[in-house]
Structure 1
Amino acid sequence: MKFGHRPELREILIAMKPEEAYYIGYITKTKGLKGELQLYFEYDAPELLDLDVVFAEISGKLVPFFVSTYKLQNNSTGNFYFDDVDHIDKAQALVKKKIYIPLNKLPDRDDEDFHYNDLVGFTVSDDTQGQLGVITEVNEYPQQFVATVSFQSKEVLFPLNDDMILEIDEDNKTLLVDLPEGLLDLYLNT
Protein backbone atom coordinates (compact mmCIF):
# COMPACT_ATOMS: atom_id res chain seq x y z
CA MET A 1 0.00 0.00 0.00
CA LYS A 2 1.42 3.38 -0.97
CA PHE A 3 1.04 6.27 1.50
CA GLY A 4 3.50 8.67 -0.15
CA HIS A 5 0.98 10.78 -2.03
CA ARG A 6 -1.55 10.82 0.86
CA PRO A 7 0.43 10.73 4.16
CA GLU A 8 -2.43 12.34 6.13
CA LEU A 9 -4.46 9.14 5.68
CA ARG A 10 -1.82 6.85 7.23
CA GLU A 11 -3.29 7.18 10.75
CA ILE A 12 -6.86 6.50 9.56
CA LEU A 13 -5.79 3.33 7.78
CA ILE A 14 -3.71 1.92 10.60
CA ALA A 15 -6.30 2.57 13.34
CA MET A 16 -9.48 1.74 11.39
CA LYS A 17 -11.90 -0.43 13.36
CA PRO A 18 -15.31 -1.73 12.18
CA GLU A 19 -17.16 0.44 14.72
CA GLU A 20 -15.47 3.51 13.22
CA ALA A 21 -16.79 2.74 9.72
CA TYR A 22 -20.07 3.57 8.02
CA TYR A 23 -21.59 1.31 5.36
CA ILE A 24 -22.36 3.20 2.14
CA GLY A 25 -22.99 0.47 -0.46
CA TYR A 26 -21.44 -2.40 -2.36
CA ILE A 27 -19.59 -3.18 -5.60
CA THR A 28 -22.05 -4.50 -8.18
CA LYS A 29 -19.84 -5.31 -11.19
CA THR A 30 -16.73 -4.61 -13.19
CA LYS A 31 -16.78 -2.36 -16.25
CA GLY A 32 -14.30 -2.86 -19.05
CA LEU A 33 -10.87 -4.44 -18.80
CA LYS A 34 -8.91 -1.72 -16.96
CA GLY A 35 -10.26 -2.26 -13.43
CA GLU A 36 -13.27 0.06 -13.43
CA LEU A 37 -15.91 -0.89 -10.85
CA GLN A 38 -19.54 0.09 -10.32
CA LEU A 39 -20.56 0.89 -6.75
CA TYR A 40 -24.24 0.86 -5.74
CA PHE A 41 -24.87 3.43 -2.98
CA GLU A 42 -27.25 2.64 -0.15
CA TYR A 43 -26.34 6.01 1.34
CA ASP A 44 -29.04 8.47 0.31
CA ALA A 45 -26.80 11.40 -0.71
CA PRO A 46 -23.56 10.03 -2.22
CA GLU A 47 -22.71 13.40 -3.76
CA LEU A 48 -22.04 14.69 -0.20
CA LEU A 49 -19.50 11.98 0.65
CA ASP A 50 -15.73 12.43 0.76
CA LEU A 51 -14.67 9.49 -1.39
CA ASP A 52 -10.87 9.81 -1.54
CA VAL A 53 -10.50 6.50 0.31
CA VAL A 54 -13.07 3.73 0.83
CA PHE A 55 -12.86 0.43 2.66
CA ALA A 56 -13.95 -2.94 1.30
CA GLU A 57 -14.93 -5.69 3.72
CA ILE A 58 -12.70 -8.63 2.77
CA SER A 59 -12.54 -11.73 4.99
CA GLY A 60 -13.99 -9.81 7.92
CA LYS A 61 -11.46 -6.96 7.72
CA LEU A 62 -11.77 -3.45 6.33
CA VAL A 63 -9.23 -3.05 3.54
CA PRO A 64 -8.50 0.51 2.29
CA PHE A 65 -8.68 1.46 -1.38
CA PHE A 66 -7.60 4.88 -2.59
CA VAL A 67 -9.92 6.30 -5.23
CA SER A 68 -8.11 7.59 -8.33
CA THR A 69 -11.23 8.83 -10.14
CA TYR A 70 -14.97 8.36 -9.98
CA LYS A 71 -18.14 9.56 -11.64
CA LEU A 72 -21.52 9.45 -9.90
CA GLN A 73 -24.59 8.41 -11.91
CA ASN A 74 -28.26 9.40 -11.42
CA ASN A 75 -29.34 5.86 -10.43
CA SER A 76 -27.57 5.61 -7.02
CA THR A 77 -24.43 4.21 -8.62
CA GLY A 78 -20.96 5.46 -9.38
CA ASN A 79 -18.12 4.25 -11.58
CA PHE A 80 -14.79 4.03 -9.73
CA TYR A 81 -11.12 3.46 -10.42
CA PHE A 82 -8.99 2.55 -7.39
CA ASP A 83 -5.20 2.96 -7.18
CA ASP A 84 -3.50 -0.40 -7.79
CA VAL A 85 -6.67 -1.96 -9.32
CA ASP A 86 -5.71 -1.68 -12.97
CA HIS A 87 -7.04 -4.90 -14.49
CA ILE A 88 -10.38 -6.72 -14.65
CA ASP A 89 -8.93 -9.66 -12.68
CA LYS A 90 -8.05 -7.41 -9.72
CA ALA A 91 -11.44 -5.66 -9.97
CA GLN A 92 -13.39 -8.93 -10.16
CA ALA A 93 -12.15 -9.86 -6.67
CA LEU A 94 -14.03 -6.82 -5.28
CA VAL A 95 -17.45 -7.56 -6.82
CA LYS A 96 -20.18 -7.95 -4.15
CA LYS A 97 -17.92 -6.53 -1.42
CA LYS A 98 -19.50 -4.11 1.04
CA ILE A 99 -17.99 -0.62 0.99
CA TYR A 100 -17.47 1.66 4.00
CA ILE A 101 -16.04 5.08 4.80
CA PRO A 102 -14.65 6.30 8.13
CA LEU A 103 -17.31 7.81 10.41
CA ASN A 104 -15.30 11.03 10.60
CA LYS A 105 -15.70 11.40 6.81
CA LEU A 106 -19.51 11.50 6.95
CA PRO A 107 -21.04 14.88 6.09
CA ASP A 108 -22.33 16.96 8.99
CA ARG A 109 -26.08 16.79 9.53
CA ASP A 110 -28.54 18.81 11.51
CA ASP A 111 -29.38 17.36 14.93
CA GLU A 112 -32.98 16.81 13.79
CA ASP A 113 -31.86 15.01 10.63
CA PHE A 114 -32.41 11.31 11.47
CA HIS A 115 -32.15 8.45 8.99
CA TYR A 116 -33.16 4.80 9.27
CA ASN A 117 -29.45 3.91 8.92
CA ASP A 118 -28.92 5.63 12.28
CA LEU A 119 -30.82 2.76 13.94
CA VAL A 120 -27.84 0.37 13.67
CA GLY A 121 -26.85 -0.42 17.26
CA PHE A 122 -30.31 0.36 18.66
CA THR A 123 -32.01 -2.24 20.87
CA VAL A 124 -35.36 -3.17 19.33
CA SER A 125 -38.40 -4.37 21.24
CA ASP A 126 -41.69 -5.61 19.86
CA ASP A 127 -44.92 -4.41 21.50
CA THR A 128 -46.09 -8.03 21.87
CA GLN A 129 -42.92 -10.18 22.01
CA GLY A 130 -40.73 -7.88 24.12
CA GLN A 131 -37.01 -7.32 23.54
CA LEU A 132 -35.72 -8.81 20.30
CA GLY A 133 -32.07 -7.70 20.20
CA VAL A 134 -29.75 -5.13 18.67
CA ILE A 135 -30.11 -3.94 15.08
CA THR A 136 -26.96 -5.11 13.31
CA GLU A 137 -27.72 -3.79 9.83
CA VAL A 138 -30.14 -1.56 7.94
CA ASN A 139 -30.45 -2.06 4.18
CA GLU A 140 -32.27 0.16 1.71
CA TYR A 141 -34.30 -1.59 -0.96
CA PRO A 142 -36.25 0.15 -3.74
CA GLN A 143 -39.50 0.15 -1.76
CA GLN A 144 -38.31 0.32 1.88
CA PHE A 145 -35.63 0.07 4.54
CA VAL A 146 -35.16 -3.31 6.24
CA ALA A 147 -33.54 -3.90 9.65
CA THR A 148 -31.65 -7.04 10.67
CA VAL A 149 -31.69 -8.35 14.26
CA SER A 150 -30.30 -11.54 15.78
CA PHE A 151 -33.20 -13.07 17.77
CA GLN A 152 -32.95 -16.50 19.41
CA SER A 153 -29.87 -17.27 17.30
CA LYS A 154 -31.76 -16.54 14.06
CA GLU A 155 -31.32 -13.58 11.73
CA VAL A 156 -34.65 -11.73 11.60
CA LEU A 157 -35.42 -9.07 9.00
CA PHE A 158 -38.28 -6.61 9.28
CA PRO A 159 -39.30 -3.47 7.39
CA LEU A 160 -38.82 -0.04 8.89
CA ASN A 161 -41.84 2.13 8.22
CA ASP A 162 -44.25 4.44 10.01
CA ASP A 163 -46.85 1.67 10.37
CA MET A 164 -44.52 -0.56 12.40
CA ILE A 165 -42.41 1.93 14.36
CA LEU A 166 -44.15 3.00 17.56
CA GLU A 167 -41.30 4.90 19.22
CA ILE A 168 -37.67 5.84 18.63
CA ASP A 169 -35.69 6.87 21.73
CA GLU A 170 -32.42 8.32 20.47
CA ASP A 171 -31.07 9.04 23.95
CA ASN A 172 -31.42 5.42 25.13
CA LYS A 173 -30.85 3.96 21.63
CA THR A 174 -34.08 1.95 21.71
CA LEU A 175 -36.72 1.25 19.10
CA LEU A 176 -40.25 0.03 19.86
CA VAL A 177 -42.03 -1.70 16.99
CA ASP A 178 -45.31 -3.51 16.36
CA LEU A 179 -44.35 -6.36 14.03
CA PRO A 180 -47.03 -8.11 11.99
CA GLU A 181 -48.44 -11.22 13.63
CA GLY A 182 -46.53 -14.33 12.58
CA LEU A 183 -43.43 -12.54 11.24
CA LEU A 184 -41.13 -13.85 13.96
CA ASP A 185 -42.60 -17.35 13.61
CA LEU A 186 -41.52 -17.41 9.96
CA TYR A 187 -37.88 -17.04 11.03
CA LEU A 188 -38.01 -19.20 14.17
CA ASN A 189 -39.74 -22.17 12.52
CA THR A 190 -37.28 -22.57 9.62
Structure 2
Amino acid sequence: MKIEDCFYIGYVTKTKGLKGEVQIFFEYEEPEDLKLETVYAEINGKLIPYFVSSSKLQNNQTGNFYFDDVDHIDKAEKLVRKKIYLPNSEKPVRDEDEFLITDLKGFIVHDKHFGELGEIIEIHEYPQQFVAVVPYKFREVMFPLNDDLIEEIDQENGILKVNLPEGLVDLYTQE
Protein backbone atom coordinates (compact mmCIF):
# COMPACT_ATOMS: atom_id res chain seq x y z
CA MET A 1 0.00 0.00 0.00
CA LYS A 2 1.40 3.39 -1.05
CA ILE A 3 0.59 6.75 0.52
CA GLU A 4 -0.77 8.08 -2.79
CA ASP A 5 -3.33 5.23 -2.74
CA CYS A 6 -4.63 6.39 0.65
CA PHE A 7 -6.17 9.39 2.37
CA TYR A 8 -5.13 10.87 5.70
CA ILE A 9 -7.61 10.58 8.58
CA GLY A 10 -5.62 11.61 11.68
CA TYR A 11 -2.83 10.60 14.02
CA VAL A 12 -2.22 8.68 17.24
CA THR A 13 -2.13 11.16 20.13
CA LYS A 14 -1.32 8.92 23.11
CA THR A 15 -1.52 5.53 24.74
CA LYS A 16 -4.20 4.64 27.27
CA GLY A 17 -3.62 2.09 29.99
CA LEU A 18 -1.13 -0.77 29.90
CA LYS A 19 -2.85 -3.14 27.44
CA GLY A 20 -1.97 -1.38 24.18
CA GLU A 21 -4.92 0.96 23.74
CA VAL A 22 -4.24 4.12 21.73
CA GLN A 23 -6.17 7.32 21.11
CA ILE A 24 -6.50 8.64 17.56
CA PHE A 25 -7.31 12.28 16.83
CA PHE A 26 -9.32 12.49 13.60
CA GLU A 27 -8.62 15.34 11.23
CA TYR A 28 -11.12 13.76 8.85
CA GLU A 29 -14.35 15.73 9.25
CA GLU A 30 -16.78 12.86 9.88
CA PRO A 31 -14.96 9.89 11.45
CA GLU A 32 -18.26 8.10 12.09
CA ASP A 33 -18.57 7.63 8.29
CA LEU A 34 -15.25 5.77 8.06
CA LYS A 35 -14.88 2.01 7.86
CA LEU A 36 -12.30 1.40 10.59
CA GLU A 37 -11.49 -2.31 10.27
CA THR A 38 -7.90 -1.89 9.10
CA VAL A 39 -5.97 1.36 9.36
CA TYR A 40 -2.49 2.14 8.05
CA ALA A 41 0.15 3.87 10.15
CA GLU A 42 2.99 5.71 8.42
CA ILE A 43 6.21 4.40 9.93
CA ASN A 44 9.55 5.34 8.38
CA GLY A 45 7.85 6.37 5.14
CA LYS A 46 5.94 3.08 4.77
CA LEU A 47 2.32 2.27 5.50
CA ILE A 48 1.95 -0.57 8.00
CA PRO A 49 -1.51 -2.16 8.38
CA TYR A 50 -3.09 -2.43 11.82
CA PHE A 51 -6.20 -4.54 12.24
CA VAL A 52 -8.70 -2.98 14.61
CA SER A 53 -9.88 -5.43 17.26
CA SER A 54 -12.10 -2.84 19.00
CA SER A 55 -12.78 0.87 18.82
CA LYS A 56 -14.91 3.50 20.47
CA LEU A 57 -15.43 6.91 18.86
CA GLN A 58 -15.77 9.94 21.13
CA ASN A 59 -17.66 13.20 20.48
CA ASN A 60 -14.47 15.30 20.34
CA GLN A 61 -12.97 14.02 17.06
CA THR A 62 -11.08 11.24 18.88
CA GLY A 63 -11.45 7.51 19.23
CA ASN A 64 -9.91 4.81 21.42
CA PHE A 65 -8.54 1.77 19.59
CA TYR A 66 -7.14 -1.66 20.27
CA PHE A 67 -5.21 -3.28 17.43
CA ASP A 68 -4.47 -6.98 16.93
CA ASP A 69 -0.87 -7.72 18.01
CA VAL A 70 -0.63 -4.44 20.02
CA ASP A 71 -1.27 -5.87 23.45
CA HIS A 72 1.13 -3.88 25.63
CA ILE A 73 1.91 -0.22 26.27
CA ASP A 74 5.46 -0.69 24.89
CA LYS A 75 4.07 -1.68 21.47
CA ALA A 76 1.46 1.10 21.58
CA GLU A 77 4.02 3.81 22.42
CA LYS A 78 5.72 3.18 19.06
CA LEU A 79 2.54 4.42 17.35
CA VAL A 80 2.28 7.76 19.18
CA ARG A 81 2.43 10.73 16.75
CA LYS A 82 2.17 8.41 13.72
CA LYS A 83 -0.13 9.51 10.90
CA ILE A 84 -3.07 7.21 10.17
CA TYR A 85 -4.47 6.51 6.69
CA LEU A 86 -7.21 4.53 4.98
CA PRO A 87 -7.23 3.26 1.36
CA ASN A 88 -8.86 5.61 -1.17
CA SER A 89 -11.30 2.79 -1.97
CA GLU A 90 -12.78 3.24 1.53
CA LYS A 91 -13.29 7.00 1.27
CA PRO A 92 -16.97 7.80 1.89
CA VAL A 93 -18.83 9.06 -1.17
CA ARG A 94 -20.43 12.48 -0.81
CA ASP A 95 -23.83 13.34 -2.18
CA GLU A 96 -23.56 15.41 -5.36
CA ASP A 97 -25.59 18.23 -3.84
CA GLU A 98 -23.56 18.30 -0.60
CA PHE A 99 -21.46 21.49 -0.38
CA LEU A 100 -18.71 21.83 2.22
CA ILE A 101 -16.91 25.02 3.24
CA THR A 102 -13.68 23.48 1.89
CA ASP A 103 -15.32 23.38 -1.57
CA LEU A 104 -14.84 27.17 -1.69
CA LYS A 105 -11.18 26.66 -2.67
CA GLY A 106 -10.84 28.05 -6.20
CA PHE A 107 -13.76 30.49 -5.83
CA ILE A 108 -13.22 34.15 -6.71
CA VAL A 109 -13.78 36.47 -3.73
CA HIS A 110 -15.70 39.71 -4.21
CA ASP A 111 -15.70 42.08 -1.24
CA LYS A 112 -18.44 44.70 -0.81
CA HIS A 113 -15.87 47.55 -0.47
CA PHE A 114 -12.76 46.36 -2.37
CA GLY A 115 -14.42 44.52 -5.26
CA GLU A 116 -12.64 41.46 -6.61
CA LEU A 117 -9.86 40.32 -4.27
CA GLY A 118 -8.80 37.15 -6.07
CA GLU A 119 -9.07 33.37 -5.96
CA ILE A 120 -9.13 31.38 -2.72
CA ILE A 121 -5.88 29.41 -2.97
CA GLU A 122 -6.08 27.68 0.39
CA ILE A 123 -8.49 27.01 3.23
CA HIS A 124 -7.04 26.42 6.69
CA GLU A 125 -9.10 24.50 9.22
CA TYR A 126 -8.77 25.61 12.81
CA PRO A 127 -10.74 24.23 15.77
CA GLN A 128 -13.14 27.20 15.86
CA GLN A 129 -13.33 28.13 12.16
CA PHE A 130 -12.15 27.87 8.58
CA VAL A 131 -9.88 30.62 7.21
CA ALA A 132 -9.57 31.50 3.50
CA VAL A 133 -6.28 32.61 1.94
CA VAL A 134 -6.49 34.96 -1.06
CA PRO A 135 -3.55 36.60 -2.87
CA TYR A 136 -4.28 40.34 -3.20
CA LYS A 137 -1.80 43.00 -4.35
CA PHE A 138 1.12 40.57 -3.96
CA ARG A 139 0.15 39.75 -0.36
CA GLU A 140 -1.86 36.95 1.18
CA VAL A 141 -5.09 38.16 2.76
CA MET A 142 -6.67 35.82 5.30
CA PHE A 143 -10.23 35.99 6.60
CA PRO A 144 -12.60 33.65 8.45
CA LEU A 145 -15.28 31.86 6.48
CA ASN A 146 -18.34 32.41 8.63
CA ASP A 147 -21.96 33.47 8.24
CA ASP A 148 -21.22 36.99 9.52
CA LEU A 149 -18.87 37.76 6.62
CA ILE A 150 -20.31 35.66 3.77
CA GLU A 151 -23.09 37.44 1.90
CA GLU A 152 -23.57 35.03 -1.01
CA ILE A 153 -22.11 31.84 -2.45
CA ASP A 154 -22.60 31.59 -6.21
CA GLN A 155 -21.73 27.95 -6.83
CA GLU A 156 -22.60 28.08 -10.52
CA ASN A 157 -20.09 30.85 -11.28
CA GLY A 158 -17.59 30.07 -8.51
CA ILE A 159 -17.99 33.44 -6.78
CA LEU A 160 -17.96 34.14 -3.04
CA LYS A 161 -19.38 37.54 -2.05
CA VAL A 162 -18.20 38.79 1.33
CA ASN A 163 -18.40 41.90 3.48
CA LEU A 164 -15.04 41.97 5.26
CA PRO A 165 -14.62 44.10 8.39
CA GLU A 166 -13.25 47.59 7.85
CA GLY A 167 -9.46 47.58 8.05
CA LEU A 168 -8.93 43.83 7.57
CA VAL A 169 -7.60 44.05 4.00
CA ASP A 170 -5.53 47.11 4.96
CA LEU A 171 -3.78 45.06 7.66
CA TYR A 172 -2.30 42.86 4.93
CA THR A 173 -1.61 45.47 2.26
CA GLN A 174 -0.06 48.34 4.22
CA GLU A 175 3.71 48.55 4.32
- Deviation readout 1:23-58 (Å, 9 max, x if unpaired): 544443332345432223344432221223445678
Candidates 78, 83, 91, aligned match of 1:90 = 78
SS of the aligned residue for 1:92 comes to coil
Instruction: Give the match's secondary structure for 2:2.
Output: helix
SS at match of 1:130: strand
Residue in 2 that maps onto 1:49: 34
Structure 2 residue aligned with 1:134, among 107, 113, 121? Answer: 121
2:102 is equivalent to residue 122 of structure 1 = no
Choose from 32, 38, 44 the match for 2:23. 38
Residue number in structure 2 paired with 1:158: 143
Give the residue type in structure 2 aligned to 1:139: E
CA distance in 1, matches of 2:143, 2:41: 26
Q: CA RMSD in A?
A: 3.9
Shift of 1:89: 3.2
Deviates more, 1:169-178 or 1:37-46: 169-178
1:57–1:115 CA distance, 2 compared to 1 (3 A): farther
Decide which of 52, 61, 84 is 1:68's aligned counterpart: 52
Q: Following superposition of structure 1 onto structure 2, how do residues 174-185 of structure 1 map, counting pairs within 5 Å?
A: 174-185=159-170
Could you tell me which residue of structure 2 aligns to residue 6 of structure 1? Answer: none
Distance in 2, Cα, partners of 1:24 & 1:58: 15
Q: 1:172 to 1:186 in 2, by over 3 A?
A: same
**Identity over aligned pairs, percent:** 45
Against the structure 1 CA distance between its residues 109 and 33, is the aligned structure 2 distance closer, same or farther, given a 3 Å change threshold? Answer: same
Q: What is the total number of aligned residue pairs between the two structures? A: 166
Gaps of 5+ in 2: none
TM-score, with length taken from structure 2? 0.64
Cα distance in 1 for partners of 2:21, 2:66 equals: 5
How far is 1:74 from its partner?
3.3
Distance 2:92 2:79 in 1: 28
2:130 paired residue number: 146
* Change in CA separation of 1:133 and 1:46 when aligned onto 2, cut-off 3 Å: closer
Q: Taking structure 1 as reference, are residues 91 and 15 closer, same or farther at Cα in structure 2, changes over 3 Å only?
A: closer
